[in-house]
Amino acid sequence: MRVPLSWLREYVDLPAGVTGRDVQAKLVSAGLEVETVEQLGAGLKGPLVVGRVLTIEELEGFKKPIRFCTVDVGDAGGTSQAGGSGGGTGEPQEIVCGARNFAVGDKVVVILPGGVLPGDFHISARKTYGHTSHGMICSARELGMGDDHDGIVVLPPGSETGADAIELLELVDEVLDIAVTPDRSYCLSLRGVAREAAIAYGVPLRDPALLDVPAHNGEGYPVRIADQDGCDRFTARTVTGLDPEAVSPIWLQRRLQKVGMRPISLTVDVTNYVMFELGQPLHAYDRSRINGPIGVRRAHPGEKLTTLDGAERILDPEDLVITDESGPIGLAGVMGGADTEIADGGSSDVVIEAAHFDPVAIARTSRRHKLGSEASRRFERGTDPLTTSAAAQRTVDLLVGLAGGTAEAGVTEIAAPTEPRVITMPADHPDRVAGTDYGRETVVRRLQEIGCDVLGSDELTVTVPSWRPDLSYPNDLAEEVIRLEGYENLPSTLPQPPAGRGLTESQLLRRRVGRALAGAGYIEALSYPFIGTEVFDQLGLDEDDERRRTVRLANPLDDTEPALRTTLLPGLLSTLRRNTGRGAHDLALFEIGLVFLPAAEQVRPPRLPVDRRPTDEEIAALQAALPDQPRHVGTVLAGARERPGWWGPGHPATWADAIEAARTVAREAGVELTVQAGRYAPFHPGRCAVLLAGEQVVGHAGELHPRVTKAFGVPERTCAMEINLDLVEASGGVRATGPRVSTFPVATQDVALVVDADVPAASVEAALRAGAGELLESARLFDIFTGPQIGEGRKSLAYALRFRAPDRTLTADEATAARDSAVASAARQTNATLRGA
Amino acid sequence: MSAPNKSYDPVEVEALKPDAIERMRADALAAIAAAGDLEALTHVKTAHTGGGSPLALANREIGALPPQAKAEAGKRVGQARGAVNQALAARQVELEAERDARVLVEEAVDVTLPYDRRPAGARHPLTTLSDRIEDIFTAMGYEVAEGPEVEAEWFNFDALNFPPDHPARETQDTFFVEGPDGGSESGVVLRTHTSPVQIRALLQRELPVYVIAPGRVYRSDELDATHTPVFAQVELLAVDEGLTMADLKGTLDHMVVSLFGEGMTTRLRPNHFPFTEPSAEMDMLCYVCRGESVGNPDRPCRTCSSEGWIELGGCGVVNPRVLTACGVDPEKYSGFAFGFGIERMMMFRHNVEDMRDIVEGDVRFTLPFGMEI
Ligand SMILES: [Zn+2]
């Protein structure tokens, strides 16, 4: 909403010398977001006067037509270059002009030598086209009035020759630009902003809507409202005998220009003017072009209407339309129809509509037809229903005054019975909301200032003004008091919450996992969860892989990524690719985040009310409509896990590092993972580990399939891990038991076991442990050997077994017996033979 | 090596004469002093204290002496041997010290060698900044509440007093999960703020409720230097008896002091949100210029564009209608809430200029932030 300071002053006596910046600061403090203050006519300096064209001589022989004119500028003429206006000799001035849109006798705007136009354009008498030009006849653009007209400004004939045009055209002004929040619809008018300014400066408001209006008399233009929910108030007035030649006066055009509207024709300009003044959108129909009574109803399916912008629109049964006997003639509150618009030359008889429409209906129609207008903007935020008759009256008055029309006596005023909204609240409610002590006096005064009627002492009965549809509850009133008293004056106090329990186990775990992985050299990435379904092909997933079932978005940002991730790996791999693409080599990345797994069958959550707590069953039904959203941890590795350097060779990141990352995560949850060989996309079929917590599969790790690294454009032999942290957490949580530490000496026995090459080391170790008994302190695989000595298809695994008793020094025989038992167990379970035996 | 000579007249045993003993001792001491290294000293030790050394041989002769001469000779030899052993030990220590000094110098290395054998890791600064904000509030007694990112519209909008036609419910602002019919009428969205967590907290927890809700949220904005469709937010909710807007102001002030240091403060400006009433926009004092750039063209401030304040987010007193939807009696309880974007906070706090650096996952951006922020 653009608010010219000069216009605002018509309703509020702002203190002399107050600038736009001052008003901005006051209004901002009161809660209006005044974004900018535009300075109009900055740098403009006279003499700039009204001139009357006396003679025009067309100059020939130049590339473009040029006119040499004499212009009567009243007393301003004949001044020296340094002189001001009004001090001249009164002689006509000779001026050269390139425009042609004027005739002898026209009133024009003349800047004389010594004047300065916006843009620091200094005017002096100068020789041009063979003549000396003593000034310049100005165009709208040169004067900073807007740039939508060609040629020079031609003023109405009645303009007084020699008068100061800076004043006449209100060229110097300040315009506040206000971003109006949805709750302050009344501030989409000069009237509303003036009310705020009056409160801010503590001065009275001259309310432009306080007009004497005639009552409904049954002789006005007939109106039939078929849908009172959509339209509860409709005023129709008729003005006849308008002068079709009449144009909008300068002041009206200037005000429209300053608020950002283009002057069009007197009738349209007047309706726009009243809309900006009072906030009530109006529509003027050419009476000769409407047939029969005006109606308001919902559109019939398939009905069509060509709106003022020339577009033919197919109407929706929810659209509210204005009709006559021929059908729809306007989209109510949004835009009129082309058939009944005021003709270019003006209409002599017009019907004025000022109505109140349901905000939701207008918002939906505006949205449905992607059609916004100054009118719909106001209606959808809520207009003042009691302003329709005043706005119609104001329009009638202006048309009568400016275009010589006659107001017909007939007045149509249809209004559904309404009661003003009344809110009761304790007088100290604003104090209790704010946490400060305003006192009843202040509360009542502030509420009265915004237009409320206030009764009562301890319990206030507050009648809300019709222009504040946003005020419904005591807290709304509290906000009004607090903002007018100044948010900046609120005290600052710190509440004392009860003792909290700190982070949950799950939250602590997440932090530990992040720290552990970062400590192990991984860098955290936070990928977007949006994916295209082709990533599943790139990952090599089977057609029936569960991960292909996704939650899809109805309106994805990018149509190629319409789904939500079911695995963290695509995001991690594309982050890996981005980093390698930017020249990084040795990369270890991790991410902790949600994946989204749709329910077996999608159900729509119930529509629950908001006027009570939903029942537990209702909450459960909402929850059941949501996808499962477990938290995963993923890692990817490429390049060197350990770099080569002066210390010796490095080693590349391998499947073993990926599995170790999973163990690192699980250990933070107190879970020791079991690892089994498996086949699972996107992993290399021979280098893929299934990760188990107890019996439960919680994730996978290993080297990626070569086709996958190729498809994602990541380095060959990239390794990865993904684990479901929720599952890991659920299987952990057991508090560690303090071990009994034996101080007796350890007995060490090494064994080398030969097994078939495909026997997993984990099985051999498990068998050893099972057979060794309670004396075994640790079993560590320290070497693997293959070769001719061992035999084809066989391998030798060398373990260091450490035995220790809690209560005595083991004898050599005891240690040997335990070792033999371990070996025997391995022999039984894995067909192991003792190497060299 | 000869055996003890018992046939000699003991008085006549040359080796036990005082002069001879003295000479043996002098020879040994001279040899010890002359030993240049530990190896030479080992030879000297064998030569002068070993079984075949003159003093050892002399010692053996003592047995042949008549009893009256034994004591004197024994004392003489014993003193000589003691002196030699002492000198040997001293020289041993001396030579070892010399050797150690030489060897350690020879073993010196270049300790300035770089060592990037194992690449370093880091947590994402959005995670660690969120942790830090959580810690400020958990220290005060707040708890951290969480909820799903794919959320029911009722939690994300309805319960928060968004009317059915609120513009935020448009597809141009909010990601909608596709319904079974392919449309957007699924009743499920990607949460647009962490406010649904406030609703869940009010439904699940005992009153009073003091929670902070950090998390990922989604809005359909294209990624550019200042916007991202996926971002991190922190919201706070306090519902208790007698909470006020002044409590909100005090809590905000405490937060900015905790995050930016002493002297920081906040400012509230009226605004409008469905879920709070009264509502406010919250600004914090510019932590760079502390407001001194305002009206001071000589000291312009890039961080706040010389406005003196930085816009942080929205806040207000919990709308009683929100409490009603959660079954909390608004006559008895009141509350306050605020929320802001962590990316934006990070851009200010860590002088980050481009949002894309935060979201793209380039390790060069993340690594310097390390484990904590
Ligand atoms: Zn600053």
CATH number, domain containing residue A36:
3.30.56.10
Q: Say if the Cβ atoms of B250 and A641 lie within 8 Å.
A: no
Do A711 and A795 fall within a single domain? no
Tell which B residues from 81 to 140 touch A, by Cβ distance under 8 Å. 113-124, 126-127, 131, 134, 138, 140
H-helix or E-strand spanning residue A819? helix A812-830
Within an 8 Å CB–CB cutoff, is residue A479 touching chain B? yes
How many residue contacts between A and B have a Cβ separation below 8 Å?
287
State the DSSP code for A738. Answer: P
Q: Which residue on chain B is closest to A601 by alpha carbon?
A: B180
Shortest distance, CA B99 to any CA of chain A (angstroms): 28
Examine the fold and report which residue of A457, A488, A519 is the final residue of a domain before the chain moves on.
A488
Q: Which of A493, A651, A668 should be substituted to probe chain B, the one whose Cβ sees the most B Cβ atoms within 10 Å? A: A493
Q: Which of B277, B311, B321, B366 should be substituted to probe chain A, the one whose Cβ sees the most A Cβ atoms within 10 Å? A: B277
pLDDT tops 80 at residue A508: yes
Do A132 and A181 fall within a single domain? no
CA distance A316 to A231: 17
**pLDDT value for B11:** 52
Tell which A residues from 342 to 361 touch B, by Cβ distance under 8 Å. 360
Do A68 and A122 fall within a single domain? yes
**pLDDT value for A61:** 81
Tell me the CA–centroid distance for residue B230 and ligand 1, in Å: 28
Tell which A residues from 26 to 85 touch B, by Cβ distance under 8 Å. 28-31, 33
Shortest distance, CA A221 to any CA of chain B (angstroms): 34
Which tens digits make up the pLDDT trace of A253-284?
Answer: 999 999 999 888 899 999 999 999 999 999 99
Tell me the CA–centroid distance for residue B340 and ligand 1, in Å: 19
CA distance B130 to B132: 5
Residue A210 lies in a domain: no
Average pLDDT over residues A628-639: 98
**pLDDT value for A89:** 67
Do A158 and A189 fall within a single domain? no
**pLDDT value for B181:** 85
In this prediction, the residues of chain B whose per-residue pLDDT falls under 70 are: 1-15
Between A747 and A58, the more confident residue is A747
CB B65 within 8 A of CB B15: no
Do A164 and A260 fall within a single domain? no
Do A21 and A128 fall within a single domain? no
What are A496's two structure tokens?
A: 């004392």
**pLDDT value for B246:** 98
Tell me the CA–centroid distance for residue B292 and ligand 1, in Å: 7
A344 band by pLDDT with thresholds 50, 70 and 90: low
CA distance A58 to A604: 78
**pLDDT value for A83:** 42
Do A373 and A462 fall within a single domain? no
Tell which A residues from 504 to 563 touch B, by Cβ distance under 8 Å. 504, 507, 511, 514-515, 517-529, 551-557, 562
Within an 8 Å CB–CB cutoff, is residue B180 touching chain A? yes
Average pLDDT over residues A577-599: 96
CA distance A679 to A674: 16
Q: Say if the Cβ atoms of A529 and B210 lie within 8 Å.
A: no
Q: Which of A362, A553, A578 should be substituted to probe chain B, the one whose Cβ sees the most B Cβ atoms within 10 Å? A: A553
Between A729 and A151, the more confident residue is A729
CA distance B194 to B340: 10
- Which residues in chain A are contacts of B195 at CB distance < 8 A? none
Q: Say if the Cβ atoms of A554 and B184 lie within 8 Å.
A: yes
Do A531 and A482 fall within a single domain? no
Q: Which of B127, B154, B169, B324 should be substituted to probe chain A, the one whose Cβ sees the most A Cβ atoms within 10 Å? A: B154
Do A298 and A186 fall within a single domain? no
Pick from A644, A518, A526, A619: which is nearest to A574 by CA?
A526
- Which residues in chain B are contacts of A517 at CB distance < 8 A? 121
Q: Say if the Cβ atoms of A528 and B229 lie within 8 Å.
A: yes
Do A152 and A178 fall within a single domain? no
CA distance B83 to B74: 14
- Which residues in chain B are contacts of A495 at CB distance < 8 A? 238, 240, 243, 247, 250-251
Phi, psi of A223 (to 5 degrees): -130, 130
A624 band by pLDDT with thresholds 50, 70 and 90: very high
Within an 8 Å CB–CB cutoff, is residue A738 touching chain B? no
What is the number of residues in chain A?
837
Residue A333 lies in a domain: yes
Residue A757 lies in a domain: yes
CB A793 within 8 A of CB A767: no
CA distance B213 to B198: 7
Between B129 and A45, the more confident residue is B129
Supply the CATH number for residue A528's domain: 3.30.930.10
**pLDDT value for A497:** 95
Tell me the CA–centroid distance for residue B265 and ligand 1, in Å: 13
CA distance B161 to B318: 10
Within an 8 Å CB–CB cutoff, is residue A436 touching chain B? yes
Residue A284 lies in a domain: yes
CB A369 within 8 A of CB A312: no
Q: What contacts B11, CB < 8 A, 6 or more positions away?
A: B66, B69
**pLDDT value for B167:** 84
Tell me the CA–centroid distance for residue B289 and ligand 1, in Å: 4
Evaluate the omega torsion of the peptide bond into residue A359 and state whether it is cis, within 30 degrees of 0. no
**pLDDT value for B9:** 53
pLDDT tops 70 at residue A77: no
CB B212 within 8 A of CB B254: no
The percentage of residues in chain A with a pLDDT greater than 70, rounded to a whole number, is 97
Q: What contacts A648, CB < 8 A, 6 or more positions away?
A: none
Round the average pLDDT of chain A to a whole number and report it: 92
Angstrom CA distances, A544 to A548, B179, B355, stand at 7, 22, 38
Supply the CATH number for residue A56's domain: 2.40.50.140
Is the Cα torsion angle A685, A688, A693, A697 positive or negative in sign? negative
Q: Is A480 part of any known ligand binding site?
A: yes
Between A107 and B10, the more confident residue is A107
Angstrom CA distances, B343 to B150, B233, B267, B359, stand at 21, 8, 20, 9
Residue A322 lies in a domain: yes
CA distance B319 to B322: 5
- In the block, tokens 């306007």 appear at A330
- Which residues in chain A are contacts of B363 at CB distance < 8 A? 523, 579, 584, 587, 589
Beta-sheet strand order (sheet of A223-225): A223-225, A294-298, A320-324, A327-331, A335-336
Q: Say if the Cβ atoms of B230 and A646 lie within 8 Å.
A: no
Tell me the CA–centroid distance for residue B339 and ligand 1, in Å: 22
Q: Say if the Cβ atoms of B154 and A622 lie within 8 Å.
A: yes
Average pLDDT over residues A753-780: 95
Phi, psi of A691 (to 5 degrees): -105, 125
Q: Say if the Cβ atoms of B177 and A519 lie within 8 Å.
A: no
CA distance A718 to A701: 11
What is the number of residues in chain B?
373
CA distance B250 to B237: 14
CB A125 within 8 A of CB A113: yes
Q: Say if the Cβ atoms of B138 and A500 lie within 8 Å.
A: yes
Angstrom CA distances, B34 to A420, B45, B49, B91, B95, stand at 121, 12, 16, 10, 11
**pLDDT value for B13:** 67
pLDDT tops 50 at residue A85: no
Q: Say if the Cβ atoms of A499 and B141 lie within 8 Å.
A: yes
Shortest distance, CA B244 to any CA of chain A (angstroms): 5
**pLDDT value for B313:** 95
Supply the CATH number for residue A817's domain: 3.30.70.380
Residue A496 lies in a domain: no
Do A668 and A767 fall within a single domain? no
pLDDT tops 50 at residue A290: yes
Q: Say if the Cβ atoms of A184 and B188 lie within 8 Å.
A: no
Q: Which of A35, A626, A646, A651 should be substituted to probe chain B, the one whose Cβ sees the most B Cβ atoms within 10 Å? A: A626
State the DSSP code for B327. Answer: T
From the DSSP assignment, how many helices (H) and strands (E) are in chain A?
Answer: 21, 42
**pLDDT value for A86:** 44
Within an 8 Å CB–CB cutoff, is residue A488 touching chain B? yes
**Number of folded domains that form chain A:** 6
Within an 8 Å CB–CB cutoff, is residue A737 touching chain B? no
Do A238 and A270 fall within a single domain? yes
A293 band by pLDDT with thresholds 50, 70 and 90: very high
CA distance A384 to A468: 7
CB B150 within 8 A of CB A551: yes
The residue segments making up the domain with residue A160 are 48-79+88-171
**pLDDT value for B162:** 94
- In the block, tokens 């916004």 appear at A372
Q: Say if the Cβ atoms of A523 and B121 lie within 8 Å.
A: yes
Average pLDDT over residues A205-210: 95
Pick from B52, B56, B58, B45: which is nearest to B85 by CA?
B45
Q: Say if the Cβ atoms of B144 and A607 lie within 8 Å.
A: no
Which tens digits make up the pLDDT trace of A438-477?
Answer: 999 999 999 999 999 999 999 999 999 999 999 999 999 9
Burial of A383 (0-12, 13-18, 19+ CB in 10 A): buried
**pLDDT value for A837:** 62
